[in-house]
Amino acid sequence: MSAVLRAQALGKKYKQRWALQNCDLDVPAGRVVGLVGPNGAGKSTLLNLASGMLTPTAGTIEVCGGRPAEGVDQLAKVGFVAQDTPTYASLSVADHLDLGKRLNPSWDDTVARDRISRLGLDPKQRAGRLSGGQRAQLALTLGIAKRPELLILDEPVAALDPLARREFMQDLMEAVAEHEMSVVLSSHLVSDVERACDYVIVLVDSRVRVAGDIDDLVASHHRLTGPRRDSATLPAGLHVISASHTDRQTTLLVRTDTAVHDPSWSVSPLGFEDIVLAYMTSPANAFRDSRPTLEVLR
Is residue 181 located within the same domain as residue 224?
Answer: no
Q: Domain ends where: 180, 205, 230?
A: 205
Domain extent at residue 28: 3-205
Is 90 domain-assigned?
A: yes
The pLDDT value recorded for residue 171 is 87
Helices (H), the chain: 43-51, 72-76, 93-103, 109-119, 132-145, 162-179, 190-196, 214-220, 272-281
The pLDDT value recorded for residue 294 is 32
Is residue 67 located within the same domain as residue 164?
Answer: yes
Q: What is the pLDDT of residues 175-214, one digit of tens each?
A: 888 888 999 999 988 999 999 999 999 999 999 999 999 9
Amino acid at 145: A
Q: Domain ends where: 144, 172, 205?
A: 205
Is residue 177 located within the same domain as residue 242?
Answer: no
Query: Can you tell me the distance from the alpha carbon of 128 to that of 29, in angstroms, rounded to the nearest whole number?
Result: 35
Is 142 domain-assigned?
A: yes
The pLDDT value recorded for residue 283 is 66
The pLDDT value recorded for residue 292 is 35
Number of domain units in the chain: 2
The pLDDT value recorded for residue 290 is 35
Compute the Cα dihedral for 127, 130, 133, 138 and give only its sign.
Answer: negative
Query: Can you tell me the distance from the alpha carbon of 16 to that of 226, in angstroms, rounded to the nearest whole number?
Result: 47
Note the Cα 282 to chain centre separation in Å: 20
The pLDDT value recorded for residue 276 is 95
Residues 6+ apart with CB under 8 A from 151: 78, 79, 80, 81, 143, 144, 181, 182, 183, 184
The pLDDT value recorded for residue 291 is 38
Is residue 158 located within the same domain as residue 57?
Answer: yes
Is residue 25 located within the same domain as residue 115?
Answer: yes
Buried b / exposed e along 58-77 (16+ C-beta atoms within 10 A):
ebebbbbeeebbeeeebbbb
Is residue 132 located within the same domain as residue 264?
Answer: no
pTM of the model: 0.88
Residues of the chain with pLDDT under 70: 1, 231, 283-298
The pLDDT value recorded for residue 167 is 87
Is residue 127 located within the same domain as residue 242?
Answer: no
Q: What is the pLDDT of residues 241-271, one digit of tens each?
A: 988 889 899 999 999 988 888 888 899 999 9
The pLDDT value recorded for residue 295 is 33
The pLDDT value recorded for residue 284 is 58
Is residue 164 located within the same domain as residue 230?
Answer: no
Is residue 222 located within the same domain as residue 179?
Answer: no
